[in-house]
């Protein structure tokens, strides 16, 4: 692997990370993955394990002594490493908060030392309890109280965003932030409470589909290949802006130092989603409503809606996720 030619992907053994790594290698890039496998899985990288331009390092970002050199030699960093799933967040808030802030801070410090551009994946969770029908990147954020551990993930990712943008302003680090909205697709596990793989697994095995709460809460789902396409386009646009002359950079679509929503816009309630999964897969499974206090813990607080505005992404990189929800269900189930 030639010095200065690889792309570093933290959390590359995760569901999204594995698909991103496959895409980057397909595009002819050399890729180095750092993942401690706390929630990732080597099976997500099985298809590329023997690729000549791929290297896997099983470690935490914070304990890898050669991280500064790895960041210095990278042409770009995708920072995907994070705790995943509401279920895990509720159960392990301390791990979520410590891991997110410590690992991100150490990675940003290494990237800033050499000016290596970095894309941070954040989450729609940062919009918190906002009742707006659609979320814009410029919206004020309304996070729940610290007594509810459910909001620890939102706060940890929001802190990551503040940290990354502070490095951009004060250390001139080229940074892009992508807020992901309910990414789904092949290889996603339902182990940490992810709703669509849970529904699909239940429908395929004839088990009840368990809908938490009253089922009227709504979400927008985005196919993982669409998300990867958006991330790659943001990365390419960022690289072009860095390589352009000052005049050209000013006239090109601005992505550096910016936040982008990345998600689908086809809104569906959880009860409607369960019915659609049953119908699409021709299942005989029934649907059960499970109160939140039985699914998680007493006092669990949830967002009623979560629909992104994606015009900024479309305007900047000429891309809007287009895979329909029914197609997402079919592709994921297959």
CA-based max dimension of the chain:
61
pLDDT surpasses 90 at 11: yes
Asked if 32 and 57 count as a contact pair (C-beta separation under 8 A), the reply is yes
Q: Tens of pLDDT along 166-207?
A: 999 999 999 999 999 999 999 998 775 689 999 999 999 999
Q: Tens of pLDDT along 231-286?
A: 999 999 999 988 874 454 444 468 999 999 999 999 999 999 999 999 999 999 99
Per the domain annotation, does 302 fall within a domain? no
What is the domain-level CATH number for residue 24? Answer: 3.40.50.720
Share above pLDDT 70 across residues of the chain, in percent, rounded to a whole number: 89
What residues make up the domain containing 314?
6-184+222-263+307-321
pLDDT surpasses 90 at 211: yes
Per the domain annotation, does 295 fall within a domain? no
Per the domain annotation, does 314 fall within a domain? yes
**C-alpha angle 279-280-285 in degrees, rounded to nearest 5:** 45
Share above pLDDT 90 across residues of the chain, in percent, rounded to a whole number: 73
H or E segment and range at residue 114: helix 93-114
Q: What is the pLDDT of residue 1?
A: 41
Per the domain annotation, does 202 fall within a domain? no
The CA distance from 105 to 34, in Å, is 15
Q: What is the pLDDT of residue 54?
A: 98
Per the domain annotation, does 48 fall within a domain? yes
pLDDT surpasses 80 at 294: no
Average pLDDT over residues 116-133: 94
Beta strand extents in 92-234 (DSSP E only): 118-123, 175-180, 183-184, 209-212, 218-220, 222-223
Q: What is the DSSP letter of 254?
A: P
Higher pLDDT, 152 or 40: 40
Catalytic residues: 153
Q: Tens of pLDDT along 268-280?
A: 999 999 999 999 9
Per the domain annotation, does 159 fall within a domain? yes
Tally the domains of the chain. Answer: 1
Strands 6-10 and 74-79: parallel
Q: Which residues contact 281 (CB under 8 A, 6 or more apart)?
A: 200, 203, 204, 329, 333
The CA distance from 67 to 88, in Å, is 27
């Amino acid at each position: 692997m030639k010095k200065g030619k690889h792309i570093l992907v933290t959390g590359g053994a995760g569901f999204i990370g594995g698909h991103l790594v496959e895409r980057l290698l397909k595009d002819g890039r050399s890729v180095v993955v750092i993942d401690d496998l706390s929630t990732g899985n080597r099976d997500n990288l099985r298809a590329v394990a023997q690729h000549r331009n791929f290297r896997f390092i099983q470690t935490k970002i914070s304990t890898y002594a050669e991280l500064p050199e790895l960041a210095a030699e990278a042409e770009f960093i995708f920072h995907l490493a994070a705790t995943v799933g509401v279920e895990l967040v509720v159960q392990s808030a301390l791990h979520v908060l410590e891991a997110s802030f410590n690992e991100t801070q150490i990675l940003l410090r290494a990237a800033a030392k050499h000016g290596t551009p970095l894309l941070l994946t954040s989450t729609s969770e940062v919009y918190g309890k906002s009742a707006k029908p659609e979320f814009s990147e410029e919206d004020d954020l309304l996070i729940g109280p610290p007594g509810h551990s459910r909001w620890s993930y939102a706060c940890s990712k929001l802190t990551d965003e503040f940290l990354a943008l502070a490095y951009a302003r004060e250390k001139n680090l080229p940074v892009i932030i992508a807020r992901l909205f309910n990414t789904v697709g092949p290889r996603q596990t339902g182990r940490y409470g992810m709703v669509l793989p849970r529904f699909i697994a239940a429908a395929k095995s004839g088990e009840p589909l368990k809908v938490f709460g009253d089922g009227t809460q709504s979400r927008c789902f985005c196919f993982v290949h669409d998300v990867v396409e958006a991330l790659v386009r943001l990365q390419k646009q960022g690289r072009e802006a860095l390589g352009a002359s000052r005049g050209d950079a000013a006239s090109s679509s601005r992505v550096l130092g910016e936040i982008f929503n990345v998600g689908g816009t086809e809104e569906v309630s959880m009860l409607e989603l369960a019915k659609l999964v049953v119908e699409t897969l021709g299942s005989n499974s029934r649907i059960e409503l499970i109160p939140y206090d039985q699914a998680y813990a007493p006092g669990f607080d949830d967002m009623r809606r979560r629909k992104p505005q994606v015009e900024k992404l479309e305007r900047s990189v000429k891309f809007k996720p287009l895979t329909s929800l029914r197609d997402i269900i079919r592709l994921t189930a297959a």
